[in-house]
Structure 1
Amino acid sequence: MPSLRDIRRRISSVKNTQQITNAMKMVSAAKLQRAQDRVMATRPYSERMSYVVEHLEARVKPSAHPLLTPREEGKTLLVLLTSDRGLCGGFNSNVQRRAMDEIRELSESGEVDIIAIGKKGRDFLGYRQVETLESHIEMFIRQVSYDQAQDIAAKLFKAFEEDGYRQIIVLYNKFNSAISQEVTALRLLPMSGLEDPDADPQESYDYLYEPSAPAVLDSLLRKQVEIQLFQIFQESFAGEHGARMTAMDSATSNASEMIASLTLTFNRARQAAITTELIEVVSGADAL
């Protein structure tokens, strides 16, 4: 049995750890609330923009714009979105496992290039000797900005239009709630999402385009990709702090249980030591 000093030292260590996990839980809870509000505020705009683009897409041929034209040949560009920090439960491991499955599946039909956003994803791929085109870390330290989505979108536009990729897929954690994040693979480009391009539009009305329909289509498509990326970044940011808050809350509870168990062990050991000393005293008195 460990000595009383060792048990006391371990109780002190667990209490210090509990203070850290509780502080991390409170910080993530505060960040989660702000991130969740931003996600909910952005979703209606993103959904309406998608509706407008789909409505406009239904009135043009798939070949009307390069961002809509399906491609049969070429490589796939996979964008893996993870966090820069750990201690967030299975937030990163879930999307990492899905990434390896996607890479194996996509590799059967062609080559796959990868862009890693987040330190955990970059380190995960590097450890498994999977090459990446580029990596971006420390992007979401405090909050997600629209400028970040614009910068990444510009690089993806260039890769799709100039490098001839067949498709660009983003793999990320979609935020459902503080305790639920869903790993999602979204095909960002090409944007054609019609099941039947020859089908008639459901609505009978149309828009007036100024200066022209192709110019409006080009502007809307590029804006839609930026908005989708911005929404994806916010979903992942909120999901990260939701997962971390849940993980730290569980760690704090486990620390409390461990402290209670160690305290009980300490009391039993102290009682046994006191009993031993009393027996020695009584035995000594009897010997005299």
Structure 2
Amino acid sequence: RLGMNIVAQTTHLGDRPHIADLIGTVKIMLDAYSEGRIDRLFLMFNDFHNTMSQEPHIETLLPVVPMDAEDLQDHWDYIYEPGSRELLDGVLMRYIEARVYRGALENIASEQAARMVAMKAATDNAGEIINDLQLIYNKARQAAITQEISEIVGGAAAV
């Protein structure tokens, strides 16, 4: 709808997904970003708050928003081995994998909550229908018994 292309997707994860199921999709996305085929990477999922509240959420994964200079002024500067660039590439891959995995888990939790609420509503509705039908049945039965008694009394009075 928004004119964006879906570059990769993973479906049929089941109720207990493993992060390994998502690594291939994440690699495709990161390769497309590093090759310049995409300039931004978004993750869309249903954010689970509680059983009654889940809301669609769009999260920007790449480019990573840098911290403000004032937030960095009290931080230490470290020397990284083998190098900060190599370390950052590895950490970034794991970070994106973790964010995508979190999105998948949030989606599954939201789906299960929606199913649970729908089933509860259906059960409650079925209970109300059963009560209504029981009342209709009892009224019909009572009317039939009253009719029979009236006929018996009418027949006895005629004799």
Return the match for 2:65 from 186, 193, 205: 193
Partner of 1:240: 111
Partner of 2:85: 214
- Which protein is bigger by CA-based radius of gyration? 2
Distance 2:31 2:18 in 1: 21
Does the C-alpha gap of structure 1 residues 203 and 182 become closer, same or farther in structure 2, counting only changes over 3 Å? farther
Distance 2:12 2:86 in 1: 36
Determine whether 1:182 maps to 2:55.
yes
Query: The residue matched to 2:12 in structure 1 has which SS?
Result: coil
CA contact (8 A) 1:149 1:227 kept: no
- Following superposition, the deviation at residue 226 of structure 1 comes to 0.5
Deviations 1:24-44 (A, max 9, x none): xxxxxxxxxxxxxxxxxxxxx
Mapping of 1:1-288 within 5 angstroms? 103=1, 106-107=2-3, 112-114=4-6, 136-140=10-14, 142-162=15-35, 164-190=37-63, 192-194=64-66, 199-200=69-70, 201-287=72-158
Which letter does structure 2 place at the counterpart of 1:187? T
Deviations 1:107-128 (A, max 9, x none): 3xxxx1136xxxxxxxxxxxxx
Give ranges in structure 1 of 5+ residues lacking alignment: 1-102, 116-133
Distance 1:218 1:174 in 2: 27
Which letter does structure 1 place at the counterpart of 2:52? I
- Following superposition, the deviation at residue 248 of structure 1 comes to 1.7
Structure having greater relative contact order (Cα 8 Å, sep ≥ 6): 1
Query: The residue matched to 1:113 in structure 2 has which SS?
Result: coil
TM-score by length of 1: 0.49
TM-score by length of 2: 0.84
Percent identity between matched residues is 34
Query: The residue matched to 2:119 in structure 1 has which SS?
Result: helix
Distance 1:257 1:275 in 2: 27
CA contact (8 A) 2:44 2:57 kept: yes
- Following superposition, the deviation at residue 202 of structure 1 comes to 4.0
Partner of 1:56: none
Distance 1:274 1:135 in 2: 66
Q: CA RMSD in A?
A: 2.3
* Number of matched pairs: 158
Distance 2:120 2:73 in 1: 49
Which letter does structure 1 place at the counterpart of 2:140? A
Deviations 1:122-155 (A, max 9, x none): xxxxxxxxxxxx6543212x30211022122112
